[in-house]
């Protein structure tokens, strides 16, 4: 008789959510959160907190879908949709993936410019090259090695941005005041939508289902599956807590140190203001956190894009080839001399418009008892999921109205 299979401890099973969480602290988050804090102070603290709670629910449902069905979300959508629908759905998902890649490559380029003074174009090329190397690690060493590398990068990102908060903590009363939901004109709605797009990331929703499935397989119904779902809730909770703390730190540091200063409407200006207010060491931490964010998130984005294409079009494209193709739009933006910070914020708005296309099928599929069995969503869970979708849709419609009419 062979030796009995040793039951792995719960902490060893953590990981997929931390890879997905990389998407929640990418350079688009930096641009949106810093712009919000510098422009409106603590006004939009409530948006970050709300968005992070939404993200936790969504990511758990995505992971649950992968564990229970053995399918990624793109595969599940592709299995029930006809070919024209699959192609149309893939096109919008691809647009979202391109917006994601734009934010991440541009962010890495800005970080390399801040640290080493490199031209943005060269920084973008280096960011793309390093992301390819990170993808090779995941492709050759397996899911566990992929998780370890990106969990390490997530730790670097957290230290890089939380350092500023430790050195220059904001007033508690001002932070508490920012928890009251409100807006202040069109620009605040634009930034709130950007924060949502940068937090509830469509490609992370698609990806997490595949990450959980690839790491843990499809546990049998019963005790094994219930234990895995319980571990997954902890995985998502801890990862979202860390990502939320980093996002909140970005806004709070900007609100406490950058509000009212000129030139803080760009990441470069914000970096300079942080250096002046908190010193060169904290500014270096800020830049290193931004660099780790760009390098890690662009790799995760490319991985998600390949999973989306394979699930919807049933076409397998090598990760490195896809990385080269999706790198082009970001390099064009850098070469054209377009304001990189503004490009980052707008890319997050584009992401926000893609969120309902990920959430609607996710909630419908995880609520389907024929598909999910006893692990289908409870009514309250589905209601909360639909509420998240409606809130994001209303924000998007308000943004369009305010922008077209010029009010606010």
Which CATH number does the domain housing residue 233 bear?
A: 1.20.1740.10
Strand, helix or coil for residue 30: helix
What pLDDT is attached to residue 168?
A: 79
Is residue 86 within 8 A of residue 78, CB to CB? The reply is yes
Range of the domain at 16: 12-405
pLDDT score of 340 more than 90:
no
Tokens of 334: 């850098």
Lowest mean pLDDT among 107-116, 125-134, 135-144, 249-258: 135-144
Please write the tens of the pLDDT for every residue from 182-214: 998 888 888 888 788 777 888 889 999 999 999
pLDDT at 113 over 70: yes
pLDDT at site 407: 57
For the chain, the average pLDDT equals 86
Identify which has the larger pLDDT, 320 or 304.
304
Residue 117 has a CB neighbour count (10 Å cut-off) of: 8
Question: Angle CA(297)–CA(20)–CA(365) in degrees, nearest 5?
Answer: 130
pLDDT at 7: 64
DSSP code at position 42? T
CB within 8 A of 123, min separation 6: which ones? 108, 109, 110, 111, 112, 113, 334
Is residue 41 in some structural domain? yes
Query: Is the pLDDT reported for residue 69 higher than 60?
Result: yes
Given this model, what pLDDT does residue 5 score? 41
Report whether pLDDT(83) > 70. Answer: yes
Q: Is residue 401 one of the residues assigned to a domain?
A: yes
Residue 91: inside a domain: yes
> Residue 189 and residue 363: Cα distance in Å, rounded?
26
Q: For residue 1, is it within any domain? A: no
pLDDT at position 3 over 60: no
Number of domains in the chain: 1
Residue 406: pLDDT band (50, 70, 90) is low
Whether pLDDT at 282 is above 50: yes
Measure the CA–CA gap between 369 and 379, rounded to whole angstroms: 12
Supply the pTM of this predicted model. 0.89
Determine, yes or no, domain membership for 2. Answer: no
How would residue 6 be classed by pLDDT, with cut points 50, 70 and 90?
low
Backbone angles phi, psi at 391, to 5 degrees: -60, -45
Residue 352 domain-assigned? Answer: yes
Res 34 pLDDT > 80: yes
Q: Is the pLDDT of residue 379 over 90?
A: yes
Q: Would you call 132 exposed, middle or buried from its count of C-beta atoms within 10 A (0-12, 13-18, 19+)? A: middle
Alpha carbon distance 53, 113 (integer Å):
34
Instruction: Work out the average pLDDT over 260-271.
Output: 77
**Full DSSP string of 73-98:** HHHHHHHHS-HHHHHHHHHHHHHHHH
Whether residue 102 is contained in a domain is answered as: yes
Considering the domain boundaries, does residue 7 fall inside one? no
User: What backbone phi and psi angles, to 5 degrees, belong to 315?
Assistant: -120, 125
């Amino acid at each position: 008789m062979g030796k009995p299979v040793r039951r792995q401890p719960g902490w060893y099973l953590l990981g997929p959510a931390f890879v997905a969480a990389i998407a929640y602290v990418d350079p688009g988050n930096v641009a949106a959160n810093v712009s919000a804090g510098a422009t409106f102070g603590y006004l939009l603290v409530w948006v970050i907190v709300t968005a992070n709670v939404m993200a936790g629910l969504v990511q758990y449902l995505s992971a649950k879908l992968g564990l229970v069905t053995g399918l990624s979300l793109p595969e599940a959508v592709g299995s029930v949709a006809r070919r024209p629908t699959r192609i149309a759905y893939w096109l919008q998902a691809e647009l979202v993936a391109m917006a994601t890649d734009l934010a991440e490559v541009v962010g890495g380029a800005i970080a390399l410019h801040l640290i080493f003074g490199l031209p943005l174009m060269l920084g973008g090329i280096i960011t793309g090259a390093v992301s390819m190397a990170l993808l090779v690690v995941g492709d050759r060493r397996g899911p566990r090695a992929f998780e370890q590398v990106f969990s390490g990068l997530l730790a670097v990102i957290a230290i890089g941005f939380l350092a500023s908060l430790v050195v220059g903590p904001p007033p508690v009363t001002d932070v508490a005041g920012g928890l009251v939901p409100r807006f202040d004109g069109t620009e605040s709605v634009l930034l709130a939508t950007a924060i949502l797009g940068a937090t509830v990331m469509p490609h992370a929703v698609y990806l997490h289902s595949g990450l959980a499935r690839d790491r843990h397989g499809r546990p049998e119904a019963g005790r094994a599956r219930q234990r895995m779902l319980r571990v997954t809730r902890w995985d998502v909770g801890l990862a979202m807590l860390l990502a939320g703390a980093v996002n909140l730190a970005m806004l709070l540091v900007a609100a406490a140190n950058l509000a009212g200063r000129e030139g803080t409407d760009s990441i470069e200006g914000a970096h300079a203001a942080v250096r002046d207010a908190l010193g060169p060491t904290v500014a270096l931490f800020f830049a290193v956190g931004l660099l780790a964010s760009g390098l890690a998130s662009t790799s995760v984005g490319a991985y998600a894009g390949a999973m989306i294409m394979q699930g919807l079009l049933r076409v397998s494209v090598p990760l490195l080839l896809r990385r080269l193709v999706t790198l082009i739009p970001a390099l064009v933006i850098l070469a054209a001399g377009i304001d990189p910070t503004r490009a980052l914020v707008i890319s997050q708005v584009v992401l926000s418009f893609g969120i309902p296309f990920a959430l609607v099928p996710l909630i419908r599929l995880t609520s389907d008892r024929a598909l999910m069995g006893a692990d289908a969503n409870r009514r309250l869970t589905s209601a909360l999921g639909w509420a998240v979708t409606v809130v994001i849709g209303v924000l998007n419609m308000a943004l369009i109205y305010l922008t077209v009419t010029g009010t606010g």
